[in-house]
């Protein structure tokens, strides 16, 4: 198994680490920590299509590969692989606003949806069925985004999951939150979040 406790936790924070306002930042793109702030893992981008979720020691937990057709107009696929290059999950973003819904598939083949109600909503719901079509879907988790620094606009995602999700499903959810951040703020892009 990967980092002890990382995917057993019901709540983690995925966020952009603090950085100096006066010099170029060269650290990890994102940090995964407990709600109390204990660092569990870091995310680095090797280029615009490859990201690595790794322990602080550098040991690979999940590799994320981004693939798309037709540039920004077509669907975007994310493939998650482990250190042995075995696929351990996927996420797909479709539509004009790619950050409204991600369709996830876990290593065991379970399909999940990470959906937000509107473009300005700061919360995504994790469900098995479409919350817009199902009157009362079971909520398996929530992802809430906020700004950790108003001046720099650093993003912070609190990921809360149902105790019934297993470690493999939580791994897919955490990796998909990295994908949400990539869709909202691609590496090297200083544009406002979507």
- pLDDT value for 188: 61
Q: How far apart are CA 97 and CA 149, in angstroms?
A: 25
- pLDDT value for 186: 72
pLDDT tens-digit readout, 148-186: 776 778 899 999 999 999 999 999 999 999 999 999 887
Q: Are 33 and 39 in contact (CB under 8 A)?
A: yes
- pLDDT value for 58: 86
Q: How far apart are CA 44 and CA 24, in angstroms?
A: 16
Question: What DSSP character marks residue 71?
Answer: G
- pLDDT value for 141: 96
> pTM for the complete prediction?
0.89
Q: Mean pLDDT, to the nearest integer, of 43-72?
A: 90
Q: How far apart are CA 184 and CA 172, in angstroms?
A: 18
Structure tokens given for 25: 């930042």
State which CATH number among 3.40.120, 2.40.160, 2.30.30, 2.60.40 fits the domain covering 11-184.
2.40.160
Q: How far apart are CA 114 and CA 122, in angstroms?
A: 12
- Side-chain half-sphere of 116: how many Cα atoms within 13 Å? 18
Q: How far apart are CA 107 and CA 46, in angstroms?
A: 24
pLDDT tens-digit readout, 77-108: 999 999 999 999 999 999 888 999 999 999 99
């Amino acid at each position: 198994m990967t980092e002890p406790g990382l995917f057993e936790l019901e709540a983690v924070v995925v966020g952009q680490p603090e950085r100096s306002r006066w010099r170029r930042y060269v650290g990890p793109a994102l940090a995964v920590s407990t709600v109390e702030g204990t660092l569990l893992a870091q995310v680095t981008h090797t280029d615009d299509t490859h990201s690595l979720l790794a322990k602080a020691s550098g040991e690979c937990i999940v590799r994320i590969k981004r693939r798309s057709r037709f540039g920004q107009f077509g669907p975007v696929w994310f493939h998650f692989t482990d250190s042995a290059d075995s696929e351990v999950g996927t996420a797909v973003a479709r539509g004009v606003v790619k950050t409204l819904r991600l369709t996830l598939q876990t290593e065991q083949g379970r399909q999940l949806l990470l959906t937000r109600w509107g473009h300005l909503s700061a919360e995504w719901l994790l469900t098995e069925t479409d919350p817009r079509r199902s009157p009362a879907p079971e909520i398996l988790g929530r992802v809430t985004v906020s700004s950790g620094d108003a001046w720099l606009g650093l993003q912070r995602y609190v990921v809360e999951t149902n105790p019934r999700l297993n470690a493999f499903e939580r791994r897919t959810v955490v990796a998909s939150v990295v994908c949400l951040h990539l869709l909202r703020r691609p590496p090297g892009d200083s544009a406002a979040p979507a």
